Chain A
Amino acid sequence: MGQDGGRAAPRQGGIALQGIGKAYGAAWAVRGVDLTLGPGESLALFGPNGAGKTTLLKILATLITPTRGDGRVAGFDLRKEQEGIRESLALLAHGTHLYEDLTVRENVEFAAAMRRRAGPLEALLERVGLAEAAGERVRALSSGTKRRLTLAKVMLAEPTILLLDEPFTNLDQAAVALLQGFVAEVLARGGSVIMATHDLMRGYAACRRAAVLVNGRLIHEAPARPGGLEALRAAYVAATGTQGG
């Protein structure tokens, strides 16, 4: 699988944000977030509902323009070089981004055409366990199978920046293993991964660093090390008054 045209995707991970904020009217969803993530690094981003996790991921994915602050994603300026960022990035979001009346194969073919990816897609479908369901319409699939298909589209992007928003939702154990394998692949080739989740245990185990976002502010950030989960949980409980997942 490779690109057959257009701008070449830079093979460079890394995220650097300075004072990123996003306001909707008078309400700030994200406030003054400073964050640096180098190539080959992963960050688990925890926080309660409404903390600003999804907004921050959408800012990184160029879906939302920040009200304040600057940053670079995959070496591209967050405000001025958004097309370059989108070449390098994939987001596994809440929505599946699938077309229900198209088949599994047609959905992947469409994604490949939009990403200008050439080459056979059978291996990709095989990898996510959907080779036999390739001719089925998405409407007929279970929510878990749809999530696998979404994962296939994320894999197709061959990203150097991988953003995961509640990635474990609707995934069975085999699909979780598949996702974890893919995350490891992205990191091994020098990519950067941010995983926003409520699931403290899984998130902490999957990433090398962990941070807590509350009311749009980053209140705790530390490397994920054995025994460190309790300190993170304490920071989470102190900030939110809840236990987390």
Chain B
Amino acid sequence: MGRVWALARKDLLTEGRSKETLNGLLFFAALVLLIFGFALGPDPERLTQAAAGVLWVGFILTGLLGLTRAFQVEQENESLEGLLLYPGDRGAIYLGKLVGSVVFMLAVEVTVFPCFAFFYNVPLWRALPGLLLTAALGTVGFAAVGTLFAAMTMHLRAREVMFPLLLLPFVVPVLLAAVKGTEAFLRGAGRAEAFPWLTLLGLFDLIFVTLSLFAFEWVVEE
């Protein structure tokens, strides 16, 4: 696990230094929420109905950009080659990149929540624990597949197009479960209604992380 944490720490430190991605993503997420909020109008019921979907559109778009950036760092100076030369199981590289991406995406999401509450008039405090749990489970599932596909497409010339094209169909089940879980907590329906969706998310996370872990070595081989 030492290598996993070392890699995740390195990614977060690198991102913390440059801040270019973090600032860009926060601005982008806030813009998505504002534009959708503006388009949906002032009707509170309409806003509440659309809120969960809009929130996850924001998370997914910022997540796509964040995951692309996570592997761009490894392209500079052929650093991925350097990572592959280190001893030990290459699964540690996948897990390190995954942990770094999840922490980074969660940091963006936590910062976006107050903005979301403001634009969509959502009683955030009551729903916050459930929302955070759903966001964490959804983010792990999304980043699990995203990290694998980001590694797979990093050398492609058209990676900006290919990455979302390949990734999004795979993560549809995660997104649907995440939106339904978020919706249940926003409506105040309670844990009973959200539980099946959270269980589904947990299951997807387990499957996606396991499969991606095994596929990673094959994906990064030249």
Establish whether residues B78 and A94, one from each chain, have CB atoms under 8 Å apart when the complex forms.
Answer: yes
- Given the complex, which residues of A lie within 8 Å of B156, measured CB to CB? none
- Given the complex, which residues of B lie within 8 Å of A7, measured CB to CB? 87
**Chain A 55-95 residues near chain B, CB threshold 8 A:** 58, 61-65, 83, 86-87, 89-91, 93-95
CB < 8 Å neighbour of A93 from B2, B6, B81: B81
Establish whether residues B3 and A113, one from each chain, have CB atoms under 8 Å apart when the complex forms.
Answer: yes
**Per-residue contact bits, chain A 119-146, to B (CB 8 Å; 1 contact, 0 not):** 0000000000000000001000000000
Q: Write the nearest CB–CB distance from A63 to chain B, whole angstroms.
A: 6
CB < 8 Å neighbour of B85 from A6, A61, A98, A101: A61
Establish whether residues B222 and A97, one from each chain, have CB atoms under 8 Å apart when the complex forms.
Answer: no
CB < 8 Å neighbour of A102 from B17, B81, B83, B89: B17
CB < 8 Å neighbour of B221 from A65, A90, A113: A65
Interface of B is mostly: helix
- Given the complex, which residues of B lie within 8 Å of A110, measured CB to CB? 6, 10
CB < 8 Å neighbour of A97 from B14, B18, B77: B77
Establish whether residues B78 and A97, one from each chain, have CB atoms under 8 Å apart when the complex forms.
Answer: yes
**Chain B 67-121 residues near chain A, CB threshold 8 A:** 73, 76-79, 81-89
Establish whether residues A91 and B77, one from each chain, have CB atoms under 8 Å apart when the complex forms.
Answer: no
CB < 8 Å neighbour of A63 from B14, B17, B85: B85
Q: How large is the interface on B (under 10, 10 to 19, 20 to 34, 35 or more residues)?
A: 20 to 34
- Given the complex, which residues of A lie within 8 Å of B13, measured CB to CB? 101-102, 106
CB < 8 Å neighbour of B79 from A9, A58, A91, A99: A99
Judged by a CB distance under 8 angstroms, whether B179 is at the interface is no
Judged by a CB distance under 8 angstroms, whether A116 is at the interface is yes
Closest to B217 in A: A82
Q: List 27 A-B contacts (CB under 8 A).
A: A6-B87, A6-B88, A9-B87, A63-B81, A63-B85, A64-B222, A65-B221, A83-B88, A86-B86, A86-B87, A89-B85, A93-B81, A94-B78, A95-B81, A97-B77, A97-B82, A99-B10, A99-B73, A100-B77, A101-B17, A101-B18, A102-B10, A102-B13, A106-B13, A115-B86, A116-B3, A116-B88
Residue positions of B touching A, CB distance < 8 A: 2-3, 6-7, 10, 13-14, 17-18, 73, 76-79, 81-89, 221-222
